[in-house]
Structure 1
Amino acid sequence: MTMMTPVSMHKRAGLAGLYSHALCIASSVPISVVQLVARAAVANVFWQSSQSKLVSWPVTVQLFAFEYRLPVLDPGVAAVLATAAELSGAVLLFLGLFSRFAAVMLLAVVATIQVFVYPGHWGEHLTWAALLLFIIARGAGMISLDHFAGRFFSRER
Structure 2
Amino acid sequence: METTVKYLITAPARILNALRWDLFLVLMRFYVGYQFWKAGMLKLNSWDSTLFLFEHEYRVPLLSPWLAAVLGTVGELLFPLMLFVGLAGRLGALGLSVVNVVAVISYAHVIFSAGFENTVNDHWIWGLMLLAVMVFGPGKLSLDYLINRYRGASEPY
TM-score, normalised to structure 1, is 0.78
Counterpart in the other structure of 1:24: none
Counterpart in the other structure of 1:83: 73
Q: Within 1, Cα distance between the matches of 2:61 and 2:142?
A: 37
Counterpart in the other structure of 1:34: 24
Q: State the shift of 1:154 in Å.
A: 1.7
Q: Give the AA of the match of 1:127.
A: I
Counterpart in the other structure of 1:135: 133
Counterpart in the other structure of 2:95: 105
Q: State the shift of 1:79 in Å.
A: 0.4
Identity %: 33
**1:73 aligns to 2:63 (yes or no):** yes
Deviation sequence 1:24-81 (CA, Å, 0-9, x none):
xxx9461100011000001100110000001111110111111112122111110000
Counterpart in the other structure of 1:8: none
Counterpart in the other structure of 1:50: 40
Q: Are the aligned partners of 2:60 and 2:105 in contact in 1 as well (CA < 8 Å)?
A: no
Q: Which has the larger radius of gyration?
A: 1
Q: Give the AA of the match of 2:56.
A: F
Counterpart in the other structure of 1:150: 148
Counterpart in the other structure of 1:15: none
Q: State the shift of 1:114 in Å.
A: 1.6
Q: CA RMSD in A?
A: 1.8
Q: Within 2, Cα distance between the matches of 1:71 and 1:100?
A: 25
Q: Within 1, Cα distance between the matches of 2:90 and 2:150?
A: 19
Residue ranges of structure 2 left out of the alignment (5+ in a row): 1-15, 113-118
Residue ranges of structure 1 left out of the alignment (5+ in a row): 1-26
Q: State the shift of 1:112 in Å.
A: 1.0
Deviation sequence 1:89-121 (CA, Å, 0-9, x none):
010100100000010011011111122213423
TM-score, normalised to structure 2, is 0.78
The DSSP-based 3-state class of the residue aligned with 2:57 is helix
